[in-house]
Amino acid sequence: MKEFSLEQAVQAVHGTFCGDSALLSRNVRGVVIDNRRVEPDFLFVPIKGERFDGHDFIPAAYEAGAVACITERPLETDHPYILVEDSLAAFQGLAEFYKSLFSVKTVGITGSVGKTTTKELIASVLSQKYDVLKSEGNLNNQTGVPLTVLRLEAHHDVAVVEMGTNHFGEIRSLAKIVRPELCFLTNIGEAHIEHLGSKEGILKAKSEMLEYMQPDGHVFINGDDPYLKTLRDTRMDVTAFGLGRENDIYAKEIHSRGLGGTDFVIHVPDAEFKVHVPSPGSHMIYNALAAAAAGLALGMAPDEIAAGLAAYRTIAGRMCIEEKNGITVLNDVYNANPGSMRAALDVLAYAEGGRVCILGDMLELGEQAEQYHRELGRYAAKNADRVLCVGALAKYICEEAHNAGAEAEWFRTQDELLEKLGGFIHAGDAVLVKASRGMRLERTVEQLLK
């Protein structure tokens, strides 16, 4: 980490320093929100969570050698501390200040579906030419983005940062930290519609990223998305990618290799080049086109882009395909919404042999939750031979899949599913497992792989 003084930290968070003023010249070697990661001369920022309050761990942070702590309340201590109104806002302010110390090019990514995969593909492509920092996993929230930014080092050429939201104003606060040059919007779907009200509301929330785009920045959109298309009506700095030939960057000559991925040709205004994406599904084409657009915008050659796409590897819980004991497990448990569920079922349809899907509740869908689950049940019946459902809302998936002619079973809890799972899975089957994160279906994946 690039060091900065304690005095600079006080200024960045607009706080009040409490302690010996001679200490203000000491350098901060790191910033953490987990007291277990504190090292000598680190700054500890306590965050209030649903189940804990980081302020309770301030004594442990000092014991581990923290140079100071940020706090929302006065402390009875001889150690120096910075008093602020809101520790989360202070943490974000520190990240914003730290980002300003670098001239690194920054790619910002948001959207309803595919953010993490697009981030991984963009990073894979850009890494063919540049030293890239990327968000770890899907650290895309109000603490995850600052943590990513605080990992910047002098050797990095490009930062690829994913930004997520389920409430208005959250993307704005993250973009203020990141200040991207290249802004990618993957699509507008139903994810978090409970809090954002409508797809128009989701578009508004995602578009907050553009408010803090650099003056010389550029916007990249999925041009086949009817909501994102509207950005071209009001902006001149938009490049569209997609399958439609009206897009600036589009895919043609698409050839599926089943679960082995997809071959296609990328057309750009002055060139065409062949690529292979080693992960299946038509949705991966859109993600790959976004990655190609990022590479082209940063001066990369077609062969470098193609090499980066071919080098892509999935991350845990994101359509990881594993074969064991005669079955193929499509592990896509990290999260789910109607759009990503349909995309995962489309991938299952590529599989040979028996096709089984284990689907759990999709959360944060508001008053339309039952409708979305029923629609998914009908869709699942087209792509799977057996539909196993777990959770209160997944009962609607089961009902509609059964009505559509699929073999369907519903389980109230995951424990009930696991007790009977072996009777539904046979050698030669491909098994998709997917649900919202709160369903914790990784336990089902673990049992399948045993």
260 annotated to a ligand binding site: no
Give yes or no for residue 199 having a pLDDT over 90.
no
- Band (pLDDT 50/70/90 cuts) for residue 194 is low
111 annotated to a ligand binding site: yes
112 annotated to a ligand binding site: yes
Q: What is the pLDDT of residue 428?
A: 94
Q: What is the pLDDT of residue 57?
A: 97
Q: What is the pLDDT of residue 42?
A: 98
Tokens linked to 440: 């914790």
Distance CA 411, CA 306 (A): 44
217 annotated to a ligand binding site: no
Per-residue pLDDT of 24-72, as tens digits, reads 999 999 999 999 999 999 999 999 988 889 999 999 999 999 999 999 9
Give yes or no for residue 131 having a pLDDT over 70.
yes
Domains of the chain, CATH where assigned: 4-87 (3.40.1390.10), 102-310 (3.40.1190.10), 320-449 (3.90.190.20)
The widest CA-to-CA distance across the chain, in whole angstroms, is 76
Distance CA 168, CA 252 (A): 37
116 annotated to a ligand binding site: yes
Q: What is the pLDDT of residue 290?
A: 98
| Residue % of the chain over a pLDDT of 90 | 83
Q: Are strands 27-28 and 4-5 parallel, antiparallel or unpaired?
A: antiparallel
Q: What is the pLDDT of residue 191?
A: 64
Sign, CA torsion 324/326/327/328 = positive
CA distances to 228, 304, 401, 442 from 259, in Å: 29, 24, 24, 21
117 annotated to a ligand binding site: yes
- Band (pLDDT 50/70/90 cuts) for residue 235 is very high
Per-residue pLDDT of 280-328, as tens digits, reads 988 899 999 999 999 999 999 999 999 999 999 988 778 889 998 899 9
Give yes or no for residue 9 having a pLDDT over 90.
yes
The listed range with the strongest mean pLDDT (90-104, 108-122, 125-139, 364-378) is 90-104
Per-residue pLDDT of 334-372, as tens digits, reads 888 898 899 999 999 999 899 999 999 999 888 889 999
Q: What is the pLDDT of residue 195?
A: 67
Global confidence as pTM? 0.87
